[in-house]
C-alpha cells in the first residue's frame, strides 16, 4: 500500500526564491511558538507564495526546523506504508482543512475528507515496525 505525501524543503536556505522553484505551489511550515511572519524571505510573497503558513505542533520539545522550511504541494512523493519516516509533529487541527485545500489546488484532485482520527501529512505517530507487513 502506498501513501502520497508533499515534501518539506529549504531549497538551500533560499526558500522559494531558488531558481526553478514555483512559489505559488509552496507555503511556509513552522513550529508552534514561532512567528510565521519571521519565516518569509524578502520577495517570496511578492513572487506568489501567498498560501497561509501551516503550523505544526512538534512531536518533541527539542526538535527544530529552519525558517526557510516550505511545503511543496505541487510535487507528490509515493511512500510505501512500511517505510520508516521521521515524526516531526502534527499539523494543528484548525489548519488541516487549509492544508488539504492547498494540496487539492496544486494537484487538481477532488475534495479530501478529514476526520480527527486520520493521520496528518507531517506525522507518523501511528507507525511501528510490526504494524504493517513488509512487501
Look at residue 9 and tell me if it is in a domain: yes
- pLDDT (0 to 100) of residue 47: 95
Look at residue 94 and tell me if it is in a domain: yes
Sheet holding 26-31, edge to edge: 2-9, 70-80, 26-31, 54-58, 89-91
Q: Residue 96: pLDDT above 70? A: yes
Q: Which residues of 27-55 are buried (b: 16+ CB within 10 A; e: fewer)?
A: bbbbeeebeeeebbbeebeebebebebbb
Strand partners, 125: none
Percent of the chain with pLDDT over 90: 59
Full residue range of the structural domain in which residue 56 is found? 2-107
Indicate the number of domains in the chain. Answer: 1
Look at residue 100 and tell me if it is in a domain: yes
What would the pLDDT profile of 72-93 be if each residue is shown by its tens digit? 999 988 989 888 888 899 999 9
Look at residue 124 and tell me if it is in a domain: no
Cα Rg of the chain, angstroms: 15
- pTM of this structure: 0.76
Amino acid at each position: 500500500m502506498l501513501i502520497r505525501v508533499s515534501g518539506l524543503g529549504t531549497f538551500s536556505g533560499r526558500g522559494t526564491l531558488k531558481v526553478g522553484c514555483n512559489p505559488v505551489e509552496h507555503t511556509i511550515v513552522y513550529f508552534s511558538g514561532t512567528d510565521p511572519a519571521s519565516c518569509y524571505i524578502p520577495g517570496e510573497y511578492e513572487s506568489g507564495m501567498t498560501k497561509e503558513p501551516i503550523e505544526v505542533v512538534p512531536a518533541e520539545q527539542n526538535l527544530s526546523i529552519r525558517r526557510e522550511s516550505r511545503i511543496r504541494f505541487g510535487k507528490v512523493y509515493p511512500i510505501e506504508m512500511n517505510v520508516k519516516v521521521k515524526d516531526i509533529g502534527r499539523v494543528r487541527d484548525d489548519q488541516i482543512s487549509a492544508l488539504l485545500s492547498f494540496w487539492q489546488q496544486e494537484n487538481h484532485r477532488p475534495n479530501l475528507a478529514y476526520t480527527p482520527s486520520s493521520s496528518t501529512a507531517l506525522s507518523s505517530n501511528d507507525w511501528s515496525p510490526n504494524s504493517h507487513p513488509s512487501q
